[in-house]
Homo-oligomer: A and B are copies of this chain.
């Protein structure tokens, strides 16, 4: 069952499946090394573990057929969207077949009257929003990367807009999924709410491909707000910025985005995006609403920021300026990598109750400094979630060890504050030890029992979530 790490490669099964899929899918089945490597993990420091073959599926029925073929031979199956996961979700530690759903990229229907739509899993976030724009609608979840909706669903993604619009858990109405035996289920119907049995929708959201392959997603949409404005504000310390965020949340101010960048990250962004932001901790905000509502929000924020010593509070004047500021935020990952060219990123993703955020950020900054690590930090501060990303020279074993020690310390600190080791990236391979520390053996046993019941041969993305 949930012990992927202990299993061995099933060589005979894999050989058999490679033959069947080659014959069935022809050019849509690939086994070249370059393409296989590209379908393993390619971001962050986690080693690449490539699948034995990649099949480009074009329909739910094909996914079901592939799963049945793999199930018959007990061969691992890994779903692949865009490969932007940071925790090794698409790796194939036991080999097996990567099902690439990027050709399943249709927006199947948009129900403007119901503010929902149904899409295939390979549709990307940006493609969906381009499709929706004409109808005055948008899909708010924005993890930064132009991820696929299927991958975002499977990892319970969120990002910069979650403070107002929630995470994937809040914005998926139902999914269609192919289970480990090849059966096709739909988890719920299209009503806005339901009490019809177990919440299989939420069980599939965040299951990281370990229970089934998501083949369709029905999403909640939002009307594009009448007015949007962006603003930035600098603070004397990360603590002052975080305290301002806490005040915003307690006040009930419905900010659409409230992002915190530490001084190191602001510097990186300045270099990468050719900006001249003051190099001190900064909040980056977005307000959505009516004209009057947005103005009221901006004014209230200014008042709260002033109490914590916020300076240089400036609203963007133009759409161009707003886009430039948010593009810079989205590029923070790439900007940060430039701080130490050639180094790899060790991602982290802790999330704590908001009352502990100032303390957590302050401790994290102090610890990295004390350890001599470069760890620029960006925070989805309204949710208590932050990413301190350690830049590591992978050739330097001592530095790698220090980075591991820092991440372990950071995760334990968050857990000790009643928080989590992962706010939005998921467990994947990297965080498996922390999941047990966070939730305990009894809770993990319940997850393991569900996994075993629905995937008795452990063929669905083995080696993820569970040790």
Contacts of A185 in B (CB 8 A): 439-440, 442-443, 446
Mark out the residues of chain A between 181 and 233 whose CB falls within 8 Å of any chain B CB in the assembled complex: 183-200, 202-203, 205-207, 211, 222-223, 225
Specify the chain B residue showing the minimal Cβ separation from A157.
Answer: B195
State whether the Cβ of A33 lies closer than 8 Å to any Cβ in chain B.
no
**Nearest 6 pairs of A and B residues by beta carbon:** A202-B202, A453-B453, A113-B355, A190-B418, A191-B351, A194-B420
Smallest distance from the beta carbon of A326 to chain B beta carbons, Å? 21
Specify the chain B residue showing the minimal Cβ separation from A167.
Answer: B193
Count of interface residues, chain A, beta-carbon cutoff 8 Å: 91
State whether the Cβ of A251 lies closer than 8 Å to any Cβ in chain B.
yes
Contacts of A3 in B (CB 8 A): none
> Which of A19-27, A39-47, A267-275, A289-297 forms part of the interface with chain B?
A289-297
Contact of A454 among B162, B189, B443, B446 (CB under 8 A): B446
State whether the Cβ of A16 lies closer than 8 Å to any Cβ in chain B.
no
Bound Cα distance A32, B292 (Å)? 63
Mark out the residues of chain A between 249 and 279 whose CB falls within 8 Å of any chain B CB in the assembled complex: 249-252
**Copies in the assembly, this chain:** 2
Bound Cα distance A430, B325 (Å)? 55
State whether the Cβ of A445 lies closer than 8 Å to any Cβ in chain B.
yes
Bound Cα distance A444, B354 (Å)? 39
Starting from the known contacts A190-B419, A193-B424, 9 additional A-B residue pairs (CB-CB under 8 Å) come to A157-B195, A166-B170, A183-B445, A186-B440, A187-B443, A190-B418, A196-B435, A197-B444, A449-B453
Across the interface, do B190 and A158 meet the contact criterion of CB distance under 8 Å? no
Across the interface, do B251 and A195 meet the contact criterion of CB distance under 8 Å? no
- A sample of 9 inter-chain contacts (CB < 8 A) reads A113-B353, A115-B249, A156-B194, A191-B418, A195-B423, A196-B427, A200-B447, A202-B202, A223-B250
Contacts of A195 in B (CB 8 A): 155-157, 206, 349, 420, 422-427
Bound Cα distance A252, B190 (Å)? 19
Contacts of A296 in B (CB 8 A): 290, 292-293
Question: Of residues A188, A198, A352, A452, which shows the largest number of chain B Cβ atoms within 10 Å of its Cβ?
Answer: A198
Contacts of A292 in B (CB 8 A): 292, 296
State whether the Cβ of A55 lies closer than 8 Å to any Cβ in chain B.
no
Smallest distance from the beta carbon of A108 to chain B beta carbons, Å? 13
Specify the chain B residue showing the minimal Cβ separation from A190.
Answer: B418
State whether the Cβ of A450 lies closer than 8 Å to any Cβ in chain B.
yes
Across the interface, do A384 and B251 meet the contact criterion of CB distance under 8 Å? no
Contact of A202 among B203, B223, B225, B246 (CB under 8 A): B203
Contacts of A222 in B (CB 8 A): 252
Question: Of residues A187, A225, A351, which shows the largest number of chain B Cβ atoms within 10 Å of its Cβ?
Answer: A351
Contact of A252 among B223, B352, B445 (CB under 8 A): B223
State whether the Cβ of A383 lies closer than 8 Å to any Cβ in chain B.
yes
Contact of A113 among B111, B158, B246, B435 (CB under 8 A): B246
State whether the Cβ of A415 lies closer than 8 Å to any Cβ in chain B.
yes
Contact of A450 among B158, B290, B450 (CB under 8 A): B450
Bound Cα distance A33, B153 (Å)? 50
Contacts of A179 in B (CB 8 A): 442, 446
Across the interface, do A415 and B189 meet the contact criterion of CB distance under 8 Å? yes
Across the interface, do A196 and B439 meet the contact criterion of CB distance under 8 Å? yes
Specify the chain B residue showing the minimal Cβ separation from A163.
Answer: B192
State whether the Cβ of A465 lies closer than 8 Å to any Cβ in chain B.
yes
Across the interface, do A191 and B355 meet the contact criterion of CB distance under 8 Å? no
Contacts of A440 in B (CB 8 A): 185-186
Smallest distance from the beta carbon of A48 to chain B beta carbons, Å? 22
Contacts of A383 in B (CB 8 A): 191-193
Contact with B along A282-322 (1 / 0, CB 8 A): 00000000101100100000000000000000000000000
State whether the Cβ of A169 lies closer than 8 Å to any Cβ in chain B.
yes
Across the interface, do A203 and B196 meet the contact criterion of CB distance under 8 Å? no
Given contacts A203-B203, A206-B199, contact A191 B446 (CB under 8 A): no
Contacts of A225 in B (CB 8 A): 252
